[in-house]
Amino acid sequence: MIPAIETGSSESTPEAKAMNLRPAQSGASPWVLVAGGFHANGGMDKANLALAQCLANQGTPVHIVSHGVDETLARHPLVTSHIVSRPAKSYFLGRPLLDVAGRWVARRVRRQWPKARVLVNGDNCLTPGINWVHYVHHAWRPMPAEGPLWFRTKHRLNDWLVSRRERVAAQIARVFIANSNRTKRDLIELLGVDPRRIHTIYLGAESEWGMVRSQERKLSREALGIPEDRPLAVFIGSIGHDRRKGFDVLLEAWRRLCAEPSWDVNLLLAGRGSAEQECRQKVVKWKLEERVRVIGFSDRVRELLAASDLLVSPVRYEAYGLNVQEAISRGIPAIVSANAGIAEKYGPEDAPLLLPDPEDVSDLASRLVAWRSNMAEWKARFERLGDSMLSYGWPEMARRMIALVEQLDESDLS
């Protein structure tokens, strides 16, 4: 028995009844998609959702093996959801169950439809097929873990396991889809993947959000209690002990800037993680309660960005950077590390907001001051960049992926 719950209508054969397999419409073979989530609350999850929606809407049956699926997608008549449990709500404990369930479903779908496409995310399911890589673990060796002993032990074990699994995934996948050229380089240089098997397809933008309008900004600021005349910067991302997102560098830069009477920008930190409490304690210790707010996780990113003047993302490693793209697509300037995948979309005129060294607190502070001294010009520049991003949304990304896969012949996938 696999650790999954299958939903949907069933077919006439005993095996199909057991799996709720559905017939391919118009001769289309099914796709099997294996990923942690298919919903709108996370970067990778949004991308997975967009691909599944596009496939189903064009008439392709889809089997989804995941810990969670958007309700609207799950109700689609061509979607069969195989929901995998997460013991104690832990992704660490749920990962091996997702792997087993994904391989089980893939084998049985392929047995009935030999030309079925199987797409997985990274190392979450060790089965041949298409690997859509959102993150390369070998590219980021976490800093020594902090926190309680149980957390540090789990952290080390998880790092060892995912690195080992990632090498296996790199060996068995037939085709790789990278979310940036940064990710492509990491696959080649760190995992030895043949560059001929890698295709770069950037993540789609939130095209329906559009540029922030004055009334939307006013309402969002009122909801957050932000005065209209107070400049606001926002950080959106995990606040974990591994420090990958660089919130610690940002906090230290803010502490230094707030020591200057001329610095009038407030900071809002949106995200959860194992270091969230420590972050809150630092804000109190440094007497920054009036200048820095830690609000925890928020699923209202659109509204947060509408209230903001700047997004800051001093990441130590980022395969892409969907939070940065979301900000720019709303016309919000963004300071981000130059080694992040999203930096590939910055033009020469935007480069002053790219951080050469995400560890350099002084450099970050200097770039923040440079932005503040010319806010209107930076806003105009990033509105132009945002306009160029809005034409390439989630549907366009999904269609590009499907077209790529469909043009591959059997030798590419075998």
pLDDT tens for residues 250-287? 999 999 999 999 999 999 999 988 889 999 999 999 99
pLDDT at residue number 242: 83
Q: Give residue for tokens 């830690």.
A: 294
* Domain limits, CATH 3.40.50.2000, in the chain: 4-204+393-413, 214-390
DSSP codes of every residue in 343-375: GGG--GGGGGGEES-TT-HHHHHHHHHHHHTTH
Model pLDDT for residues 97-120, shown as the tens digit of each residue: 999 999 999 999 999 999 999 999
- To which H or E segment does residue 267 belong? strand 266-270
Whole-number Å distance between alpha carbons of 170 and 252: 38
Asked if residues 63 and 109 have their Cβ atoms less than 8 Å apart, the reply is: yes
Model pLDDT for residues 138-192, shown as the tens digit of each residue: 998 766 555 666 666 767 777 878 889 999 999 999 999 999 999 999 999 999 9
Burial 299-323 (b: 16+ CB within 10 A, else e): eebbbbbbbbbbbbbbbbbbbbbbb
Pairing of strands 130-133, 4-6: unpaired
* From 17-26, 373-382, 396-405, the region with the lowest mean pLDDT: 17-26
CATH superfamily of 214-390: Glycogen Phosphorylase B; (3.40.50.2000)
Whole-number Å distance between alpha carbons of 360 and 340: 16
Which band of pLDDT confidence, cut at 50, 70 and 90, is reported for residue 40?
Answer: confident
Domain 4-204+393-413 = CATH 3.90.180.10 = no
* Rg of the chain over all Cα atoms, to the nearest angstrom: 22
Model pLDDT for residues 198-248, shown as the tens digit of each residue: 999 999 999 889 999 999 999 999 999 999 999 999 999 999 888 899 999
- To which H or E segment does residue 380 belong? helix 375-390
Whole-number Å distance between alpha carbons of 166 and 172: 10
Beta strand spans in 289-381 (E): 292-296, 310-313, 334-337, 354-355
Model pLDDT for residues 282-326, shown as the tens digit of each residue: 999 999 999 999 998 888 899 999 999 999 999 999 999 999 999
Secondary structure of residue 252 in the 3-state scheme = helix
Q: Give residue for tokens 């390439």.
A: 392
pLDDT at residue number 5: 46
Model pLDDT for residues 87-98, shown as the tens digit of each residue: 888 877 888 999
